[in-house]
Amino acid sequence: MWMVLGERLSEGYLLYVDVIDDTGPLSAGVFSGIHLLFGRSPIAYLLLGKVFVLFQIYYWNSTLIKYRVFEETTYLPAILLAALFHFSFDLMYLSPTLMGSTFLLLAFGQLFSHTVLQKESSESTLLIGIYGGLAAGFHWNFIFFLPFIAFTGLAISGFTIRQLFLSIMGFLLPILLIFVFYFWNDGLQQALQIWPIVFNYPVYGYQPALSWLAPGAFPLLLALIGFTISSFFRGATINQQKQRQLIVIWLLFSAGLFFFVKNNASYQLVVFLPALSYFISQFFLQFGWTFLIRPAFFGLVLVMPILASYYWTARTAVDTTYFAVATDETRPLQNTGVMVLENDPSPYLANSLEGPFLNYNMSVSYLKQEKTLPQKAQVFQMIRRQLPKKVLDKEGHFKDLLEELPALKEFYSETTPGIYSLKYKTRK
């Protein structure tokens, strides 16, 4: 779906104004650029995703060393974080969550600096906010990390009121620039109408949440033991205690984020991985390289990625409802423009998006809202500007829209049950 979005936006259309989807605007810009350079290339998404993963691994381990989070210099967190990224098949593919979490990690590193430096640093405080705002621009749900920055800044890092205000202004700056972009493109009003739906449309799942327990149980157990050790048994300096508190609060906010995330998929778990690698490292550093601990290390670093790969492959083969998109042979559309108003994206495998409605659940919420006459005219113009050649509508949403906007009947007729075809296309 991100490839489809990037393909459509690369044709000059604008997210929220011409295409209804919940992707963050900065991520949408990246996907558009990928399509211009590589087309529909899963390899490009994989390779670029690995670049972000490698950067996170390098930056996180460097941050832990720089601010002496552990008593000894160690590359163990980097090894563990690399293993945790193999928890699921989609964690290393480019996604809005992966790009956004990278900037959250940069903000987290700046927060760490305030646990060590005992002087006010305006530059660091501003960067905390800017990185957080950029993360929200890539993945809108990360906007809920603003309270995390404010709370940890005041309670742990010792922000003054001036520093707090500076970090909040830094957070809002990228978001305000996004709004300015829409204002320049005459789309701010419509974007502000669509934007709240990102946070309140119904939750839908790509994978059942319980499917994460099987491959995730072992690293969670090690992290829990590491948390217990670091909290109650292992001695730590004041700075290290502050850093541990930051990481614990990070985990709590990451867990709370799932109350706002609309699409349940394992790539959303990427925000947990750095914190988990920290607590698992505490487990191994406490017990050392003993005979009993070696199997746990090799089990996590070598066995878990292999078993996770086998597990997800087996789940995909058994249950394609959640994990795979299969071509619908009963509707063999090929190389045409379609708009799919049903919960089945398979037609986009062989066709391109035409029309404004990409995210099915978000689009249905938008269509079901009570609208004023100007808003109805706006929906009509969204479709009128694009006029998809085919509209797939098993659920009857487009049929209801035709009744609500009778002027659209001039352009479409139901050629077969659930499929509407464009009668003719006039000058836009």
> Which residues does 142 contact at the CB level (< 8 Å), separation at least 6?
100, 101, 104, 132, 135, 136, 257
Residue at 5 is within a domain? no
Do residue 167 and residue 214 come from a single domain? yes
Residue with the larger pLDDT of the pair 214 and 134? 134
What percent of the chain clears pLDDT 90, i.e. is strictly above it?
54
Helix (H) or strand (E) holding 185: none
Do residue 294 and residue 366 come from a single domain? no
Helix, strand and coil in the chain, % to nearest 5: 65, 5, 30
How much is the average pLDDT of 328-355? 82
Do residue 283 and residue 353 come from a single domain? no
Residue at 177 is within a domain? yes
- pLDDT-derived band at 427 (thresholds 50, 70, 90) equals very low
50, exposed or middle or buried, with CB in 10 Å at 0-12, 13-18, 19+? middle
Alpha-carbon separation of residue 44 from 41, 85, 99, 138, 381 (angstroms)? 5, 18, 14, 18, 34
Do residue 267 and residue 363 come from a single domain? no
pLDDT at 338 over 80: yes
Last residue of a domain, one of 318, 345, 371: 318
Do residue 287 and residue 141 come from a single domain? yes
pLDDT of residue 364: 92
pLDDT digits (tens, 9 = 90+) for 379-397: 999 999 999 999 999 888 9
Alpha-carbon separation of residue 294 from 76, 82, 94, 287, 302 (angstroms)? 13, 18, 33, 10, 12
**Contact by Cβ (8 Å): 75, 61:** yes
Do residue 224 and residue 261 come from a single domain? yes
Do residue 157 and residue 63 come from a single domain? yes
Residue at 330 is within a domain? no
pLDDT of residue 259: 82
* Encoded amino acid at 232, one letter: F
Do residue 243 and residue 369 come from a single domain? no
pLDDT of residue 117: 60
**Contact by Cβ (8 Å): 222, 379:** no
Do residue 140 and residue 178 come from a single domain? yes
Residues 362, 368, 369, 371: is their CA dihedral positive or negative? positive
Residue at 193 is within a domain? no
What percent of the chain clears pLDDT 70, i.e. is strictly above it?
93
pLDDT at 376 over 70: yes
CA quadruple 200, 31, 109, 301: dihedral, nearest 10: 100
pLDDT at 210 over 80: no
**Contact by Cβ (8 Å): 380, 371:** no
Residue 341 lies in domain: 337-422
Residue at 32 is within a domain? no
How much is the average pLDDT of 25-45? 95
Residue at 36 is within a domain? no
Do residue 348 and residue 293 come from a single domain? no
pLDDT of residue 428: 46
Last residue of a domain, one of 288, 318, 348: 318
Residue at 26 is within a domain? no
* Encoded amino acid at 398, one letter: F
CA–CA gap between residue 109 and residue 263 (Å, rounded): 28
pLDDT digits (tens, 9 = 90+) for 236-293: 788 888 889 999 999 999 988 888 888 888 899 999 999 999 999 999 988 877 777 8
CA–CA gap between residue 9 and residue 189 (Å, rounded): 19
Do residue 314 and residue 341 come from a single domain? no
CA–CA gap between residue 347 and residue 384 (Å, rounded): 22
Comparing C-alpha atoms, which of 428, 427, 369, 385 is closest to residue 193?
369
Last residue of a domain, one of 285, 318, 351: 318
Do residue 354 and residue 235 come from a single domain? no
Give the number of C-alpha atoms closer than 13 A to the C-alpha of residue 355, restricted to the C-beta side.
26
pLDDT digits (tens, 9 = 90+) for 58-75: 999 999 999 888 888 899
Tell me how many domains the chain contains. 2
pLDDT at 324 over 70: no
Please give the angle made by the CA atoms of 266, 271 and 277, to the nearest 5 degrees. 100
Residue at 33 is within a domain? no
pLDDT at 14 over 90: yes
